[in-house]
Amino acid sequence: MRVKLFVRNDRPIPRIGDTIWCNMGDYKVWGKVKSIESVVRDDRMRISIIYRVKVINRDYIGLKVVEGAEHE
């Protein structure tokens, strides 16, 4: 699954192997980052990153959220 993530400059950037929280249609899922496609820094103090993620599960139990992401 392809995910676009916006991160403020003062926040940690999720790396390969990290777990991120993703919006997928009408529900939210946990995804594990498999690769990073692009990183763009804009003038509004944020970084836009496009990831490829593997959906781990559709539950909220036992996983740590790194940052919210939007499904693309």
Q: Which residue has the higher pLDDT, 17 or 23?
A: 17
User: 4 φ, ψ to 5°?
Assistant: -105, 130
* pLDDT (tens digit per residue) in 23-44: 776 677 788 999 989 888 887 7
Bin 62: left if φ > 0, else alpha if -120 < ψ < 50, else beta: left
| Residue 10 burial class via C-beta count within 10 angstroms: exposed 0-12, middle 13-18, buried 19 and up | exposed
Residue 63 pLDDT: 44
- Residue 69: pLDDT band (50, 70, 90) is low
d(CA 65, CA 34): 16
